[in-house]
Structure 1
């Protein structure tokens, strides 16, 4: 004999087969939902654990420094190619060489880019030795800027270029240049006039040597 269906308190009567099926379906849905939430939480915990392992396991250290430019070696090759001496700045403890290369074109140029070593210093100065050139070449590097004045550094007269807005895109604010024999030596960049003059003074012996070699 079939056992009578139990009375459901909320209904005050036995459940109908349809109500029983609906209740079981709802219970099953709630169970699956809770399982999905648990799975998501577990996956998140695993992901965070993996990230933590990567963060703490990867060795820490200083960023790799830029490769050192062998300016002496490059300069020797350029001198051999051009059959004449080139400007070789003494970097000392203040400057580092960012680039040194021979630039070809209508005028061949020995280009050296210097920047301060210390993090507290900013800017750069480029030394450009234009072979078989005169001051009329310089505006090509200075967006058409012509010299506005002259200054004497180490007994040598230098043309002064106040680039201003013309050099904004290349971050060029100041430049000086002088004739060194058959070559024109231009110093330009974003350092101050005093900093540029200090570098220029260190090059005076080489400027004289270039003049005497021509």
Structure 2
């Protein structure tokens, strides 16, 4: 004997086969939807976990320190090569050396590039000691600009080069130079006239020594 179909409270009667099928289909859809949401949440959590692992696993290096240039050591080699002293700037706490070396050509030049050690300071000054040269050599470094004036720094006369637009591409805004015995010393770059004069003043003892030795 068949058991009578249960009465559904919402209907007040037994479900028809069509209603039963529809209810089961709706339940199945709801189940699949909940599974999709769960799967999506699980995937997001897994992705986040991977990102966290990558972030903490990748080594964190310290910023690279500026390269230290042994300007005194290089200058000693230059002195041996040229048979006379190479001017070595006194860096103190303000300056650092970015580059230093001997530049060959029709005129051999001892080149040193100086920049402020502090990050908040800007600009640079290049020291060029042109061996066996005079002021006629300087325009080669200054896009053809010749000296137009002179200034006295600590009792020594320096040629002043008004670079102007000619030095824009190299970011050169100011230059001064003086004869040091058989050599010509040129300071040029993007620092102010006062800053350049301060550097020049610190070089006077070495420049005087070169002049006296000639």
| Cα pair 2:153 2:201 within 8 Å, conserved | yes
> Shift of residue 74 of structure 1?
0.6
> Shift of residue 14 of structure 1?
2.5
| Cα pair 2:107 2:133 within 8 Å, conserved | yes
The verdict on how the C-alpha distance between 1:2 and 1:149 changes in structure 2, with shifts beyond 3 A counting, is farther
Unaligned runs of 5+ in 1: none
| Cα pair 1:6 1:14 within 8 Å, conserved | no
Instruction: State the 4+ residue runs in structure 1 displaced beyond 4 angstroms.
Output: 1-10, 16-25
Distance in 1, matches of 2:24 and 2:106, equals 91
Equivalent residue pairs, number: 210
> Shift of residue 192 of structure 1?
1.0
Aligned to 1:42: 45
| Cα pair 1:5 1:14 within 8 Å, conserved | no
| Cα pair 1:5 1:15 within 8 Å, conserved | no
Moved more, 144-153 or 183-192: 144-153
The verdict on how the C-alpha distance between 1:52 and 1:85 changes in structure 2, with shifts beyond 3 A counting, is closer
Pairing 1:201-212 to 2, within 5 Å after superposition: 201-212=201-212
Normalization by structure 1: what TM-score?
Answer: 0.81
Distance in 1, matches of 2:97 and 2:154, equals 23
Pairing 1:18-97 to 2, within 5 Å after superposition: 23=26, 26-27=29-30, 29-50=32-53, 53-54=56-57, 63-97=63-97
Pairing 1:1-214 to 2, within 5 Å after superposition: 13-15=16-18, 23=26, 26-27=29-30, 29-50=32-53, 53-54=56-57, 63-214=63-214
Higher-Rg structure is 2
Distance in 2, matches of 1:53 and 1:69, equals 35
Unaligned runs of 5+ in 2: none
| Cα pair 1:115 1:124 within 8 Å, conserved | yes
Distance in 2, matches of 1:16 and 1:117, equals 84
Deviations 1:13-60 (A, max 9, x none): 4228986896577456424522431222222331353256448xx678
Q: Secondary structure at 1:197's aligned position in 2?
A: helix
